[in-house]
A = this chain, B = another copy of it.
Amino acid sequence: MSALQDRLERPDAAVARGVTGGVEPGDDGPPACSIEQALQLVGDRWTMLILRDAFRGIRRFDEIRRDLGTPRAVLAERLRKLVDAGILQRRRYQEHPPRDEYRLTDMGRELSPILVALMHWGDRWLQDAGPPTVLVHEPCGTDVHLGFHCPACGVDFGPLEIASRPGPGARP
């Protein structure tokens, strides 16, 4: 039985020590868990949708606002936060009148697996008419597959074969 299977089945499991989290009494500094830290930046409905738009090539204030219907104040605040975090970059695209747009940085572009994973999950469980959009590997046109792969074994696998261990940045 795999480690995840174990966690899924054992009612009294105190397993999975690896993933740190929770708010300890003397809570100082950022949370140890990367998921929690990531969510502090992008774990918000509007933020995620803004990023989806960025991947779609929608990057001007009013364009985003029209597309999503985000209240202006919220959009301005979220864009500020994303720029401060280094996920978006504000760039002048014309001088007269001066206009800026928000484009993904490398940091932002690497969020794509998260968006793709959300999309695949939504396709599979929420869309009964079939996926409204499919992503393809452009050179060949084959449907994009996002999954766990082991370079050592050369196999694809599912969540049940995953185990977690403390990493180099683990805290005492």
A window 138-160: CB within 8 A of B: 138-140, 142, 144-153, 156-160
Chain B contacts for A117, CB-based, 8 A: 113-114, 116-117
For chain A, what secondary structure do more than half of its interface residues adopt (helix, strand, loop), or is it mixed?
mixed
Q: Which residue of B lies closest to A23 (CB)?
A: B69
Q: A153-B139, A171-B132 are in contact. Are A122 and B163 (CB under 8 A)?
A: no
Contact of A162 among B2, B67, B112, B161 (CB under 8 A): B112
Q: Residue A165 contacts which of B21, B130, B133 (CB distance < 8 angstroms)? A: B133
* Contact flag A113-B109 (CB < 8 Å), given A146-B147, A168-B131, A169-B129: no
Contacts of A140 in B (CB 8 A): 150, 152-153
Q: How many residues of chain A are within 8 Å of chain B by beta carbon?
A: 108
Give CA–CA (A101, B10) in the complex, Å.
11
15 extra interface residue pairs, beta carbon distance < 8 Å, beyond A19-B52, A33-B52, A144-B162: A7-B56, A7-B57, A11-B93, A20-B133, A34-B119, A37-B122, A42-B118, A107-B125, A116-B148, A123-B169, A137-B162, A138-B161, A142-B151, A145-B151, A149-B156
